[in-house]
Chain A
Amino acid sequence: KAGVTQTPRYLIKTRGQQVTLSCSPISGHRSVSWYQQTPGQGLQFLFEYFSETQRNKGNFPGRFSGRQFSNSRSEMNVSTLELGDSALYLCASSLEVGSLYGYTFGSGTRLTVV
């Protein structure tokens, strides 16, 4: 059974650019959540998508957005990148909405903004 696939693994972008990250959840999992991980802030919740609808949203600015497709694959987009957006972005797959049974994480996308 394939795990959670995130692409790309690494990205280097310039301040002001935008970026799109992709996540394919475990087959049969319909919920995809996104987290940002930094040394100073730990794991911070961005948003959760289930059945192509955003079900939960964290306290991030509107520059951070996402969507989910009918096959449960999800993308997140960050516009007008800032240096502080440099982080590991983790996608978490779960069977149903919410995380009552825990997550399976992807390997993450390491974003560096220069």
Chain B
Amino acid sequence: DIQMTQSPSSLSASVGDRVAINCRASQSISNYLNWYQHKPGKAPKLLIYAASSLQRGVPSRFSGSGSGTDFTLTISSLQPEDFATYYCQESFSTRMYSFGPGTKLEIK
């Protein structure tokens, strides 16, 4: 099974800051990596698919990069509505999916 790790596990930042969240796979997954945003009591929301493609309707301050085993989600200028938990997910495995443990982004 593919194991996904994320760093940091939590992050305090201010509105306007640029932040980066890292995700690592235990083996190469090409670009089969997605990013989701999740707020308490809400449906998780797809932000980035295939490592770097921005989902329709997602603000352009969100971007994704990486391939192989190392990936990054970057938010260029934090907005108040961006404080949430972020998860990476691999879709390389054909009979299962693995999520990273999540990164909680909090207001400083």
Partners in one complex: no
Residues of B at the A interface (CB closer than 8 Å) are none
